[in-house]
Structure 1
């Protein structure tokens, strides 16, 4: 069996307070509360803006050994440049302090906009730019003026760096998509979106990445016992051959995500 990591997408939600988070828990302790119960979380703030370099080691220090942060890639790469001419934006992203997570850095998630159609050549050029190790990411970052406190190439311990791509336009339901991603070892995200966007389950890398956004109501609906049993069966099958699996619940708006994550983990003996 590969290693299973089941968690949530983000952790700072008013709807969780007094429900998942105990009444009176101060907001700055919410990450610690979640990390005591789940082994992974997606960092979403990195999608909306480049973070201060000191944020990343702070998040790492506040979580226990073995905890893992999946990091959502900066939207300038995916939504503004739409994967074209993105070397500088990629460099800025990695220069912003992402590598300061150290051994707690997990996969980098690249979420494509719903309007972005499949283009095999564009996707292949993008995948070719993605650094496959932390040291190559640091070397890429060094081409740009890093913010004060960002990790320099000399200070980075070399580790593999994984990438996952979540597609949303129906044109990606194309066999060429998996050919491109397999060629570069990039995982195709399996995303449950209540039918709004494609549910693709092909495995294209040495790990699986799953995002459960809620069904039938996006970001709101919880998963009942039958649905959790079904997802547990899929996750178990993907991990059976030694593939690591990352699952992040994004049905955050009604506070269901952490409870669904715990329920799925229990089904998988975690």
Structure 2
């Protein structure tokens, strides 16, 4: 990547059968999905570890073989650590999780610590203990959802100071497009609105790798309207020497690859981005 194109764009996962026929060939096997994904996007969120925990050694070895050197995985800490145990007495399991990813350490972007919606100021010392233990050389991104961290009061000041002290990135969850209309008549939109927190968007970079999770609507025009202000902000961060990560979701993620491609087009000229490769499934369909 050139200096003016230092942006990692990706999706919330790579394993999605609904992308067969677009991002992936219509009849290809799952074993080729990561390689096909990495031919287009340089990063992925990696939600699988949130639900399944530390991956098996043979799984990590396969990912290591398939992912090119420039690729970045941004795995989430397991929910067993963040939600069930709420970061309390997790040292051994946290170390084991980090060790399980050792073959990928040269291809890890910020690892995500997604905290429960009711994890507030009173539990902040637990986050402080985790960040103090965080391995040097591995980036961290923290996503909070408690309302008191969005009121610009004592809790938010304490959180931001903690993140800045440890060089951790505060995740910016942008759900404005998702909640811009009612979900009447759209089960997919209703499900997404019930699942995602309606947090205010506070745009700030507390570390060197600002991380945005853009949760889109089903209407592309709405998405592009809400995304447009990010173009200037991303350009500023890159000019400052930062390395942003941008992950694009849609209400049901069926069309997340297409939205990410449109967003890339909106960014390309301003950021000097190289063109994305064509989707493998679309290339194959053009042959017939």
Q: Tell me how far 1:8 sits from its aligned partner.
A: 0.7
TM-superposition CA deviations, 1:155-183 (whole Å, max 9, x none): xxxxx210000111111122221111101
The answer to whether residue 237 in structure 2 is matched with residue 246 in structure 1 is no
Structure-to-structure mapping, 1:232-243, within 5 angstroms: 232-243=231-242
Residues 193-220 of structure 1, C-alpha deviation per residue, up to 9 Å, x if partnerless?
A: 24612322221111211111224xxxx6
Q: Displacement, 1:112?
A: 0.7
| Mapped pair 1:193 → 2:175 | yes
Where does structure 2 lack aligned partners over 5 or more consecutive residues?
Answer: 151-155, 180-197, 274-288
Q: 1:108 to 1:71 in 2, by over 3 A?
A: same
Give the TM-score taking structure 2 as reference length. Answer: 0.76
Distance 1:60 1:241, change over 3 A: same
**Distance (whole Å) between structure 2 residues aligned to residue 54 and residue 170 of structure 1:** 40
Q: 1:171 aligns with which of 129, 135, 148?
A: 148
Q: Would you say the 8 A contact 1:2–1:242 is kept in 2?
A: no
Shift, 1:2, TM fit: 7.1
**TM-score of the aligned structures, taking structure 1 as reference length:** 0.81
Report how many residues are paired.
238
Considering fraction of residues, name the structure with more strand: 1
Aligned counterpart for 1:33 among listed residues 28, 36, 39: 36
Equivalent residue for 1:80, pick from 74, 84, 87 = 84
Q: Indicate the RMSD between aligned Cα atoms, in angstroms.
A: 2.0
Aligned residue in 1 for 2:121: 118
Preserved CA contact (<8 Å) 2:46 2:75? yes
Q: Does 2:187 align with 1:205?
A: no
Q: CA deviation at 1:60?
A: 2.2
Say which SS state the counterpart of residue 75 (structure 2) adopts: strand
In the alignment, structure 1 residue 267 sits paired with structure 2 residue 272: no
Deviation at 1:188, TM superposition (A): 0.2
Of Structure 1 and Structure 2, which has the larger fraction of its residues in helix?
Answer: 2
Q: How does 1:55-204 map to 2 (within 5 A)?
A: 55-95=59-99, 97-119=100-122, 120-132=124-136, 160-173=137-150, 174-194=156-176, 196-204=198-206
Deviations 1:95-126 (A, max 9, x none): 3x212114212211111111222333233222
CA distance in structure 2 between the partners assigned to 1:232 and 1:22 by the alignment: 31
